[in-house]
Amino acid sequence: MTKIKICGIKRIEDIQFVNKYKPQYIGFVFAESKRRVSVDQVRYLKQGLDPQIKTVGVFVNESIDKIVEVLAECKLNCIQVHGDETPQYIDTLKGVLGSQPAGKGVEIWKAVRVKDEKSIAMLKSYVVDAFLLDAFVEGSYGGAGKVFDWKLANLAKSCGRIFVAGGLNADNVSNAVEASRPYGVDVSSGVETEGCKDESKIRCFMDKVKGVDNCEVL
């Protein structure tokens, strides 16, 4: 079954939507973004979250100390680093998390902006729990609403679990899943209307993903 991550959660209404439709993951953005949330916001929102839904904290070129601080306050399940983090940074982060009570069992995901096959080749340098493949857009670390060649994700699967992101919505997610058969898909702006999560778009997006999975079973 293709996992679904809905990123950019920031309102209590968003929590109500995800509790109703049950994506496997939701993302809280701690990096500079119009969807950025504070530690206090996340702690409040998590109070009403279905505990079966896993939480992902999204960071861009953040200090490891800050990530550990946020993790301790918010009790996240996964850390997604979405910037220029090196393999050495990941190794250090992994070691620090392993030594912290709040870091036990926390997954580390590395986001990679995909431009061509060379972008995929760099994945081999990282040892992480999952990769999130986003579209390469000059000057942007993500959230630009652009797609990449989904077939490139097939090349990445030998490196581990793959999430496909970048410009996904209910109109194209079926094609993305069929083209790459990823571990999961990630969506943010594709389930929004005027900058806010839209219940009908979330439902439709998830139905399209489940539809591809059901066809595969048949």
Active site residues: 7, 134
Instruction: Tell me the chain's radius of gyration from C-alpha atoms.
Output: 16
Beta strand spans in the chain (E): 3-7, 25-29, 54-59, 78-81, 107-114, 130-135, 162-164, 184-187, 192-193, 196-197
**Contact in structure between 209 and 173 (CB atoms under 8 Å):** yes
Amino acid present at 202: I
Structure tokens at 160: 């581990």
C-alpha closest to that of 142 among 86, 80, 193: 80
> Torsions phi, psi of 117, nearest 5?
-65, -25
